[in-house]
């Protein structure tokens, strides 16, 4: 596939650097998910080179530098190769349904650090721009670790999901305090309480089956959930804080869906 320039999909893009690593979305699907990554490399230019090198066979739609500069690598209409083996809400072809954004940060392996304010502002503006073109539910603005919890940690517990939410991007509730009392579930535990948590995580979208056994997969999913929604402590253990935060998210999402459904019904009734 030849490298060729294209017009950027968003006015916030500073430059187009085409990547050859893309294909067609399955069945011509329109994106309904935004997936955030960190580059996880020591050098931003090296990361950009990797995402635009044919031999790497990886890419993303967008690349956001620490100073806030945004580069587009793949057209939004195309299927960029960024998610890898992953799943969400029973779906496994995440590349076909998502728009991938790579955010420059060395990651956990090379000195994970806070995301600069200008970079966060750029990611927020980019996401808001994407939301003007596609119908993307707040709970489908996710991190790579959400869809691949046993493989990935990005964008990690330092990514400011609340800042995005306060700007109208994504789904978030205030994490429950770590000081809450309650039973703790961890590796090796079994029973109905474990199955209930697994069902709740699956209901939110995580790729987990309600086996009733707290295995390594459960640990990884819980840790991914904590990185996104309860980042004060990421340990893969179900404590009262993690449980309540999950319950609050499910309740909040349910209310939002009901409001949206009522609005659609009103629009149909009010239509001439």
Give me the residue label for tokens 């294209």: 6
| Residue 202 binned pLDDT confidence (cut-offs 50, 70, 90) | very high
Q: pLDDT tens across 5-22, in order?
A: 899 999 999 999 999 999
Whether the predicted pLDDT of 29 surpasses 60: yes
Whether the predicted pLDDT of 2 surpasses 50: no
Pick the CATH number of 192-270 from 3.40.50.850, 3.40.50.300, 3.30.2010.10, 1.10.101.10: 1.10.101.10
| Confidence at residue 259, expressed as pLDDT on a 0 to 100 scale | 60
Distance of CA 251 to the CA centre of its chain: 20
DSSP 140: G
CA distance to 15, 123, 140, 212, per residue, from 70 (Å): 7, 8, 22, 44
| Confidence at residue 257, expressed as pLDDT on a 0 to 100 scale | 74
> Catalytic residue at 102?
yes
CB-CB contact of 201 with 225 (8 Å)? yes
Pick the CATH number of 15-166 from 3.40.50.300, 3.40.80.10, 3.30.565.10, 3.10.290.10: 3.40.80.10
- Tally of CA atoms within 13 A in the half-sphere of 38 that contains its CB: 29
Mean pLDDT score, 132-139: 97
| Confidence at residue 91, expressed as pLDDT on a 0 to 100 scale | 96
Catalytic-role residue among 102, 109, 157, 196: 102
**CA proximity to 138, closest of 205, 196, 223, 230:** 205
* The two domains 15-166 and 192-270 share their CATH topology (first three levels equal): no
**3-class secondary structure, 15:** strand
Higher pLDDT, 1 or 267: 267
- pTM recorded for the entire structure: 0.94
Q: pLDDT tens across 49-60, in order?
A: 999 999 999 999
> Domain spans of the chain?
15-166, 192-270
| Residue 3 binned pLDDT confidence (cut-offs 50, 70, 90) | very low
């Amino acid at each position: 596939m030849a490298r060729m320039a294209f017009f950027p999909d968003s006015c916030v893009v500073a430059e187009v650097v085409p990547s050859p690593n893309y294909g067609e979305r399955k069945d011509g699907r329109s994106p309904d998910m935004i997936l955030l990554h960190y580059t996880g490399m020591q050098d931003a230019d090296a990361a950009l080179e990797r995402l635009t090198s044919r031999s790497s066979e990886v890419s993303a739609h967008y690349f956001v530098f620490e100073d806030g500069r945004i580069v587009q690598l793949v057209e939004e209409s195309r299927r960029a190769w960024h998610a890898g083996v992953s799943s969400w809400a029973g779906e496994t072809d995440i590349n076909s349904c998502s728009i991938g954004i790579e955010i420059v940060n060395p990651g956990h392996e090379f000195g994970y650090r806070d995301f600069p304010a200008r970079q966060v502002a750029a990611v927020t503006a980019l996401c808001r721009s994407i939301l003007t073109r596609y119908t993307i539910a707040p709970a489908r603005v996710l991190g790579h670790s959400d869809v691949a919890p046993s493989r990935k940690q990005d964008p990690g517990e330092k990514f400011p999901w609340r800042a995005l939410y306060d700007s109208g991007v994504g789904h978030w509730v205030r994490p429950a305090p770590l000081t809450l009392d309650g039973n703790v579930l961890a590796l090796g535990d079994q029973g109905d309480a474990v199955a209930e948590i697994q069902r709740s995580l699956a209901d939110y979208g995580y790729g987990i089956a309600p086996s009733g056994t707290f295995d390594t997969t459960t640990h990884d999913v819980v840790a991914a959930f904590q990185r996104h929604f309860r980042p004060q402590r990421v340990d893969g253990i179900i404590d009262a804080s993690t449980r309540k935060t999950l319950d609050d998210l499910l309740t909040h999402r349910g209310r939002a869906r009901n409001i949206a459904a009522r609005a659609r019904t009103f629009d149909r009734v009010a239509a001439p």
